[in-house]
Amino acid sequence: MGGFATVLLVIGINIVLAVSLTVVNGFTGQFSMGHGGFMAVGGYVAAMIVYYGSLRLWGSANFAGGFLSSASGDGAWLAGGDVLFVVACLAAGLAAAGAGYLVGLPSLRLKGDYLAIVTLGFGEIVRVVLQGTAPQIARSKADVVRETPVWKLATHLGGAQGFNLLPTYATLFWIYFAAVLTLIVVYRLKMSSSGRAFLSIREDEIASQAMGVNVTKYKVRAFVLSSFFAGVAGGLYAMYLGAINATDLGFQRSFEVIIMVVLGGMGSISGATLAAILLSILPEVLRAPPPVWPAGLALLVVMVIIQKVGISFGLTRGPADGIVLNIAISMRSLRRSWKFKPLVIVAGVTMALETARLVCLQQQIDIAQYRMVLYALMLIIMMIVRPEGLFGVREFWDYLPRRRAHSPSGPVAEASA
């Protein structure tokens, strides 16, 4: 599989992680630093089910999937291996959700930084405990696996070496299936009454309690839902890498996801998605920076079009109760004044980046060496210059010009025949 496809897989998994963390950190305003821990719980559960499950069922832990899970593209659409994989991912989500319930409970007592520390501590305990498990039972010993009771298999998770040699089922299809599912569920949640309850807790917990919102219930619910998807992401991660190691799922991993959520804007689903995409690509891009100006130019053209021509996007309920994406293009009246500032910023940034890139090429400076330094600097500057993140609490379509007034609950407009 090429480097590009790998990045796409990583992006998909990061979307699931970032969007699910948005539910806790963005919607309810609680601060969880244990997402890596939930991911680890899910990842190991899925790894265990797929690996030991395959050995028990088929006596071999080789790949046994169908078309959807294989790169070669032969065989049936779905095979036994796929079913096992999907079950494993669901179980991963449920196990992580159970852990999320356990961690969500103390959140009734703790607030702000204290909750953050507890979730961080939880993540670290998960990591340490997983690293202390017994060695993995080898692939060749299917009979040993058959004779060992299930609860005992759960202690053979590979310890410090990690859980390795897993069959890789998580293809683009499955990962983006999960990503889209996560997006839909979280988006529906944000627009529902539960979503409003979440947001009210974030704004003012005491006031929302006074308004009759069951703060406890919603906080725990947010934790459970968020950790469910983190667990699924963990399962996908294990099945994409073919291995999972708790060392990689410590607090650094949690930080990465938090950074995505904050950069995207607390509570913005499209923001978290975009940040997940950008931050997954960024390290690769910095490894060997391609020319920047085509992207800058394209962005400028798009901005001019949006400003001058006016494209409006909207989701409209169609006559047959289906949702129709409607895109309308209209020339704006020429009286409307230009907004020069964003254009100048984009042009300036593009030129600065391009100059920097050329200077580096000229002087034969290896940017890859400064990759993490630049990443860290960007993070700091972003926080200082645009503290609300890319989109704030809004979604990206809120920034596009509109043709019609939408209902306050979001872009799904009332029926328009």
Q: Which residues bind another protein (CB under 8 A)?
A: 25, 31, 106, 109-114, 116-118, 120-122, 124-125, 127-129, 131-132, 206, 250-252, 255, 258-259, 262, 266, 369-370, 372-373, 375-377, 379-380, 383-384, 387
Q: What are the tokens at 194?
A: 């539960």
Helix (H, G, I), strand (E, B) or coil at 329: strand
CB 114 to another protein: min, Å: 6
Closest CB 282 distance from another protein, rounded Å: 13
Strand pairing class (323-329; 311-317)? antiparallel
Comparison of 30 and 316: residue with beta carbon closer to another protein: 30
Task: Give the number of residues written for the chain.
Answer: 417
**Which residue, 34 or 53, has its beta carbon nearer to another protein?**
34
In this complex, which beta carbon is closest to another protein, that of residue 125 or of residue 358?
A: 125
Nearer to another protein, 301 or 372 (CB): 372
CA distance 197 to 228: 20
Q: If DSSP codes are grouped into helix, strand and coil, which group holds residue 312? A: strand
Specify the residue, 392 or 401, whose C-beta has the smaller distance to another protein.
392
CB of 202 to another protein, least distance (A): 11
Take residue 146 and report the two structure tokens written for it. 């058959």
- Residue placing its CB nearer to another protein in the complex, 206 or 288: 206
Check: CB of residue 160 under 8 Å from CB of residue 131.
yes
Instruction: Please enumerate in sequence order all residues whose Cβ is within 8 A of that of 169, keeping only pairs 6 or more positions apart, or say none.
Output: 50, 63, 65, 69, 81, 82, 85, 239
Instruction: Give me 113's structure tokens.
Output: 């930084």
Q: Which of 61, 67, 62 is nearest to 79 (CA)?
A: 67
User: Residue 15 Cβ, how far from another protein at the closest point, in Å?
Assistant: 19
Q: In the complex, what is the shortest distance from the CB of residue 310 to another protein, in angstroms, rounded to a whole number? A: 27
Task: State the CB neighbour count (10 A cutoff) for residue 344.
Answer: 10
What gap in Å lies between CA 281 and CA 14, rounded to an integer?
11
> Nearest distance from residue 383's CB to another protein, in Å?
4
DSSP β-bridge partners for residue 324: 316
Q: Which of 144, 232, 186 is nearest to 26 (CA)?
A: 186
CB of 22 to another protein, least distance (A): 13
- Please, which residue, 177 or 255, has the CB nearer to another protein? 255
